[in-house]
Amino acid sequence: MSKTVITNPVLWADVPDPSVIRVGSTFYMVSTSMHMMPGCPIMKSVNLMEWEIVAYVFDTLEDNNAHQLADGKGIYGKGSWAASLRYDNGTYYVCFSSLDMKRFYIYQTDDIEKGRWDRFVIEGLYHDPSLLFDDGRVFVIYGNGDIRIAELTQDVTALKTDGIQQQLLETESEGIGLRCEGCHAYKLGGYYYLFFIEWPKTGNRRRRQICYRSRELLGPYERKVILDDDMGYFNNGVAQGGIVDTPAGEWYAVLFQDHGAVGRIPCVVPVAWEQDWPVFGVEGKVPKAFEAELPSSPQEPLVRSDDFDYTDNRLGLHWQWNHNPDPGLWSVTERTGFLRLTAGDVVSSVEYARNTLTQRTEGPACSGQIAMDISKMKPGDHAGMAALQHIYGTIGIRAEDNGDKYVVLCTRQKNGEEITAVQMKYEREQVYLRIDFNFEDNIDLAYFYYSADGLHWTLAGRPLQLKYTLDHFMGCRIGIFHYAAMQPGGMVDVDYFRYQRSESFSELHAAK
């Protein structure tokens, strides 16, 4: 078999809480998607290095005011958390809890790439769950510090009424800030293995990977720290995830590392076995690059340019909406070759603008730009591009009461107030907008530009200092938005979205 060089991080983008399986020669991964819809992206790879989005588990999770951004709060930082992906006897399973709904969701399909997912709901929270299939019985192991186990019915649709439901173990608390969570459970070679992330508040004070093992499902369990390394990156530990083997018999862990405003990014770690304990890394370190006995494969871009040239009114898998979209207020077929966004409910800022279309940002540096027809905006409308996090920035066009239009740069401050940093009158019917991102070495800056011709660009104001916060609990997104501040019904048409990723910010600008 050929060999592939795996370079960490394998994706320099927000793909948090990875859960990976192998079926035959193909690896599949699911990750947390929270308030983004469609949700629970399924990614595919043949070598753990090159990943491609092939499906989503659901288009929308619930249909209520919060999920529709209609309650003034939304489900930022909630929605689907830390999904578990498993395969057993011809069926694929994804399960997760939702903090806002206080429910446990189980989805099933026999075709992970093109099939329909059947949904089952259990009331109550099962925090950071892991499914475990064990000789015809099915369990979910979950919790934070207080790790619990519950038995499910054999068809994995409900709790088993007479099944096990109890505490499994209590993890360390002395000197620990974040106790063990993010369970990944396996039964291998006569042992039950439970993997967790833990964050001590003593010593080096960074996240680390923990393993508990037992010969018996209900314990007692032994404990071991199996990885405590930051790859030399600002003391951010590489942790939370599970293990997977390859057709050649090699073992790897897929974990994540916090990388500032770009989000939580996945890394692949070699795994060896010593005395039936998994040993992560090489001499305790996560290697920046290593060879794996896996086939090479072309890299399919995670974030993509788009000319919006669709025959059906369905977007490519690289796009996700911020919360549930309103299908009556967007189209890629009403005007051929354009994304049309119609302003709906009157809202106060981009954070509550429904039908904001997003993609991830990527490090070390990246840039996105659009061309937008603004001739059909109504007074009070605001449309453009966003660097979307809780501390956000937008560059776009605002239509005033008298019909005049202005290029505006708006930023959200730490106190929650939105300010207009730049306002310039604009008299053309098409505008070009661009945001450049610098994620090198936690610099985390966004630069906002506008242009009348797409060739000559004007920098608007100062760069925005991006910040990863728990308010959205998500890496910065590139967003395309249009919302009404006075009346619904205005329209903008986006001709294209162009995207570029670079290995350095200076290289990105040299290409402009």
280-320 pLDDT tens trace: 999 999 999 999 999 999 989 999 999 999 999 999 999 99
DSSP string for residues in 91-157 = EEEEEEEETTTTEEEEEEES-TTTPPPEEEEEES---S-EEEEETTEEEEEE-SSEEEEEEEPTTSS
For the residues 370-382, what does the mean pLDDT come to? 98
231 pLDDT higher than 90: yes
In 10 A of CB 201, how many CB atoms?
9
Nearest-CA neighbor of 49 among 296, 286, 249, 256?
296
Domain 4-292: which CATH number of 2.115.10.20, 1.10.10.10, 3.30.70.60, 2.60.40.10: 2.115.10.20
120's tokens? 């089952």
Nearest-CA neighbor of 204 among 241, 240, 230, 174?
230
The model carries a pTM of 0.97
DSSP string for residues in 10-26 = S--B---S-EEEEETTE
Nearest-CA neighbor of 478 among 384, 360, 371?
360
Domain layout of the chain by residue ranges: 4-292, 320-510
pLDDT of residue 1: 62
Phi-psi region of 470 (alpha: psi -120 to 50; beta: other; left: phi over 0): alpha
Q: Kindly report the average pLDDT of the chain as a whole number.
A: 97
pLDDT in tens, 30-71: 999 999 999 999 999 999 999 999 999 999 999 999 999 999
Q: How confident is the model at residue 414 (pLDDT cuts 50, 70, 90)?
A: confident
For the residues 391-417, what does the mean pLDDT come to? 94
pLDDT in tens, 127-137: 999 999 999 99
Q: Which residues pair with 198 in a beta bridge?
A: 208
pLDDT of residue 372: 98
Per CATH, which fold does 320-510 belong to? Jelly Rolls (2.60.120)
pLDDT of residue 415: 84
For the residues 250-274, what does the mean pLDDT come to? 98
For the residues 153-172, what does the mean pLDDT come to? 98
Backbone angles phi, psi at 388, to 5 degrees: -100, 105
For the residues 452-456, what does the mean pLDDT come to? 96
For the residues 232-251, what does the mean pLDDT come to? 98
How large a percentage of the chain has pLDDT more than 70? 100
Q: What gap in Å lies between CA 225 and CA 221, rounded to an integer? A: 13
For the residues 390-394, what does the mean pLDDT come to? 97
